[in-house]
Amino acid sequence: MPIVLSASIDAPSPRSVRACCMAATLAALCFMPSAAQAEETRITIGTASSAGVYHLAGRTLCRMLTTPCTAQTSDGSAENLANVREGAVSVALAQSDLQHYAVYGEEGFNEVGPDENLRSLFSLHGEPFTLVVRRDSGIRQFDDLHQRAVNVGNPGSGQRGTLMTLLDAKQWTLDDFSLANDLPADQQSLELCHGNVDAMVYTVGHPNDSVAQAIRLCDAMLVDVEGEEIERLVDELPYFTPATIPAGIYADDQPAVKTFGVRATLVASAQTDDELIYRLVSAVFDDLETLKAYHPAFDELTPELMISEGLSAPLHDGALRYYREQGWISDDEAIEEEVAEEAVEDSSEDNE
């Protein structure tokens, strides 16, 4: 005999609907995280233009996490550091030179002053300061840029910050160019191809789309950035190092290029939840080979390098916990970190 399942649905009384709704609302309220908790369970990573390596790095970090995570494009390092300061993103990528300026309130961060809450997590790939010129421009060294049309990078970008330091060292200003264009990285190559600028600069890991586009789509080439001012910058400033863009990565006949560079770093505010940072740092170091497989610029990464190079801001407590557990940082070094934290706080008091 077939079993007949019948369900009689009685229309609920308005009172029972109200009671039911109230119970459901209460239950939802009880289990709904508060705004502060909601922030702590989602990571937002500030990256840069989609034409660079930062955005790929941010998306890769998100993929490696089980925590909900968004990689957000931005104007670049300077904007990211401002966003971290304002709590608009949980973590962000930033060049080591700009990280240093943000910690100590120097250069572009002079007006806002030192960010005593800025913390570093680890560093990533090297970013050579890259000068790309149209071959027919005749520009073969940095000094040839005098009175030429140059894309100097959009405000908020790291390349603009590095260029400004270099210009200062040479006692140049933007007026030493006939035109200082400020297009972002994803638009500058076409500007070069169209002949509207003679050169563009980009502080970025290699290979990257923006440089590849310029070299492949129009007749552009990479130029060495050398000279006594560069040597002085590298000698005097801990966040600058000599850098080489390897031969043949954009074209078979592309020679190795000598320049100077910085390191991409990951930063957060001291206020970003320790547990969230601990989870992010663990996900990266527990599976570093996966991260390295995502981009050739990550090939050289080792834990030793990542927790020592380019980090001017004290380590974030969540990161420090993981590094101590791994035995990568001894208790003595952890105390030094605390002293570094106090030094940053003191230097910001000196500036008040």
Residue 157 interacting with ligand GLU (CB under 6 A): yes
Q: For residue 158, state whether it binds ligand GLU (rule: CB under 6 A).
A: yes
CB of 316 to ligand GLU, least distance (A): 20
- DSSP states along 95-151: EHHHHHHHHHT-GGGTTT---TTEEEEEEEEEEEEEEEEEGGG---SGGGGTTSEEE
Q: Does 48 bind ligand GLU (CB under 6 A)?
A: yes
- Cβ distance 121 to 281 under 8 Å? yes
The verdict on 129 binding ligand GLU (CB under 6 A) reads: no
**Min CB(79)–ligand GLU separation in Å:** 8
Region 203-222 residues binding ligand GLU, contact defined as CB under 6 A: 203-205
**Segment near ligand GLU (CB under 6 A); pick from 169-177, 198-206, 221-229, 237-245:** 198-206
Min dist. Cβ of residue 205 to ligand GLU (A) = 6
201: Cα separation from own chain's centroid:
17
299 is written with which tokens? Answer: 């090939």
Window contacting ligand GLU (CB under 6 A); options: 44-52, 171-179, 277-285, 302-310 = 44-52
Q: Counting contacts by CB under 6 A, is residue 97 touching ligand GLU? A: no
**Contact status: 76 vs ligand GLU (CB under 6 A):** yes
Q: How far is CA 138 from CA 71, 148, 177, 228, 267, in A?
A: 39, 11, 15, 22, 40
Q: How far apart are CA 200 and CA 153, in angstroms?
A: 8
Q: Can you tell me the distance from the alpha carbon of 91 to that of 118, in angstroms, rounded to the nearest whole number?
A: 10
When CB distances to ligand GLU are compared, the closest residue is 52
Nearest residue (CB) to ligand GLU, 48 versus 71: 48
Contacting residue, 44, 45, 46, 54, with ligand GLU by CB under 6 A: 54
Strand partners, 70: 44
Query: How would you classify the pairing of strands 199-203 and 149-151?
Result: parallel
The answer to whether 131 contacts ligand GLU (rule: CB under 6 A) is no
Which of 44, 45, 46, 52: binder of ligand GLU (CB under 6 A)?
A: 52
Beta strands at 199-203 and 118-134: parallel, antiparallel or unpaired: antiparallel
Residues that bind ligand GLU (CB under 6 A): 48-49, 52-54, 76-77, 95, 127, 157-159, 203-205
